[in-house]
Homo-oligomer: A and B are copies of this chain.
Amino acid sequence: MNVVTALDSRTARPPEGAGTQARHDRQVTAEEANRLAEMFRLLGDPTRAQLLYALLAAGELCVCDLTEAVQVTDTAVSHALRLLRTAGVVASRREGRTIYYRLSDAHVRMLLDLSREHLREAR
């Protein structure tokens, strides 16, 4: 209701229309925000984060290596990897009885890389 002091002007509220298509605007629809939240949630678990950063550093690792890197059960690792796999974040490759995992999403890889970088600079 109140007029807001926007940093960037153009805060005009479009009339909630359903016929809105993909905007290149700053505006983010609830749908988009939910998709983004879903992705962030995937990274927001200590086990999964450690797995992903281990893969980011090593490039490719088998489950046994990952189990050793992160201090949890191999079962927990397997469950975590399944989530990441079905989400398309990691990909797997079988070689004999061992299965190697790697990051498959360049987008996520950049997020991980960038976040690590900035965690170290700032604070």
Contact = CB atoms under 8 A, between A and B. Distances in A.
A58 B62 CA distance: 45
Contacts of A113: 3, 5
Nearest to A13: B65
B56 A119 contact: no
Interface in A104-123: 106-107, 109-116, 118-120, 122
Contacts of A106: 3, 122
A40 B43 contact: yes
Interface string A13-42: 100100000101111101011111111111
Specify how many copies of this chain sit in the oligomer: 2
22 contacts: A1-B64, A1-B68, A2-B62, A2-B98, A3-B110, A4-B62, A5-B56, A6-B59, A6-B60, A8-B59, A11-B100, A26-B56, A30-B71, A32-B53, A33-B49, A36-B49, A37-B46, A37-B49, A40-B43, A41-B44, A106-B122, A111-B115
Interface of A: 1-9, 11, 13, 16, 22, 24-28, 30, 32-46, 48-50, 53-54, 56-62, 64-65, 68, 70-71, 98, 100, 102-103, 106-107, 109-116, 118-120, 122
